[in-house]
Amino acid sequence: MTWAAVQPIDVRFVPGLSGYFHKDLQAVKLSPEYDPLVDNIATVTPGFKNVVQAGEVISILIRLPNGAVAIGDCVDVIFSGAASRDPLFTPSEHIPLLHAVIRPWILKCDISSFRPNAVQVDAPWQALGGRRLHTAVRYGLTQALLSATALAWHCTMPEVISREWKINITTQPVPILASCHRNDQLQLDRMIMKQVGLLPHASFVHVNDIGPRGQTLLDYVQSVSKRIQERGNPEWRPRLHFDVYGTIGDAFNDDEIPDFFQLIERAAFPYDILIESPIVATTKEAQIKRLSLLRNCLILKKIDVKIVADEWCNTLQDIHEFAEAKAVDFVQIKLPDLGSLHNSIDAVIYCRSQNIGCCLGGSANETDVSARITAQVALATQPDFLLSKPGIGGDEGLMILTNEMLRTLALVDMFDYCAPEKNFHGPVACTVETRSSKI
């Protein structure tokens, strides 16, 4: 048996569709006449031609010498360009760059290890005049590179991560937050039937969505709690999660929010509750300060509502800053926003080291490919929970993530996974076909 570097032999870039769509968040928030799928208001965020646009992706296909093909999808989130995120990802603007700069780099790349390549993808590129690639490109390219390394090793992606980060793979699937439309009772009932770990996410985007003094939100939280008690197994104890996109901060003064959170806690009884992005400030500094004050007040008043950070918490450095300020209980590690996958891996490891909860999340605007790779990353890093994706169909995302984790755990067991402290020799040269070339 010989060990050798592995270089790709071909690369293809294929435009396609994502699992959802893009919205101009700032335009939505400014307009009470907003219709979710009708372009009846003017755009505000640069890059948007319409307030609602179909989501697009670029699939990166890397062919290895043994004929295997690694795939990653370049994709961004629904609310692109908001709260320090990169601009809207438009594939036609990036295809020429991918052919001119990224393809030659990939063909020279040694994909026998993943982490060094991911770091390089994330860094400023000399060929781009010192600029970095769009986060969507960094995300998709590192998905393909992680897949390529696993294919070169004849092993699973969690095993690659386990070896390179010296961490252990979980033996059980990670809980999933099922993302549901708040006006779809049957979808909620199906998630109750399937006993998901958390539900229903149920986005509240405009301040009108939560109603006067937040009453619509309170009524909805209470209705979800009641429905679970009526339909669910008494021994099943899901957590309730609601994403409010700053609408609570829009409807209330900061000093009023703790009392409103107490009402939310009562409405959710007897279930634990998480509120994502209760406030969206105009800067990251203001966001951290306001969330820190809110969290401290909740602790002092013994109000048990957990805060989840999303907006303005888009990079590994952001996550460090939110954590150090004790501004949140959980962080949504939004993979497309963090770009290169190694940042998301590092983010989960950091959150766990700081005893901060974390969701390995993302966006309904992702794809089946990026969702499956997220599931594999989760098995190696062990976040508190995953966000169901792609789409907001609930069932489909839950199926994709659950089955990917179960299949991968079966493969890890089948191929006799070696813990990170064991020896690691290198990938088998592509002339050798053997299942024994594993970590």
DSSP output for 144-203: HHHHHHHHHHTS-HHHHHHHHHT-PPPSSPPPEE--B-TT-HHHHHHHHHTT-SEEEE--
Two tokens at 106? Answer: 């990939």
- Among the options 23, 29, 284, 334, which is catalytic? 334
Residue owning tokens 């703790």: 258
Of the candidates 194, 188, 222, 163, which has an alpha carbon nearest to the alpha carbon of residue 418? 163
**334 a catalytic residue:** yes
Nearest-angstrom CA–CA distance, 438 and 156: 9
Residue 59 belongs to what H/E stretch?
Answer: strand 52-63
Nearest-angstrom CA–CA distance, 200 and 74: 27
CB of 136 closer than 8 Å to CB of 86: yes
Nearest-angstrom CA–CA distance, 143 and 335: 11
Nearest-angstrom CA–CA distance, 218 and 34: 22
Nearest-angstrom CA–CA distance, 364 and 369: 13
Amino acid of residue 161: I
How many beta carbons lie within 10 A of that of residue 163, not counting itself?
Answer: 23
Which residues, in sequence order, are bridge partners of residue 331?
A: 309, 358
What angle, 0 to 180 degrees and rounded to 10, lies between the N-to-C axes of helices 257-268 and 215-231? 20
CB-based burial label for 427 (10 Å; 0-12, 13-18, 19+): buried
Nearest-angstrom CA–CA distance, 4 and 349: 30
Angle formed at CA 385 by CA 366 and CA 134, multiple of 5 degrees: 35
Phi and psi, residue 189, nearest 5°: -60, -35
Active site residues: 334
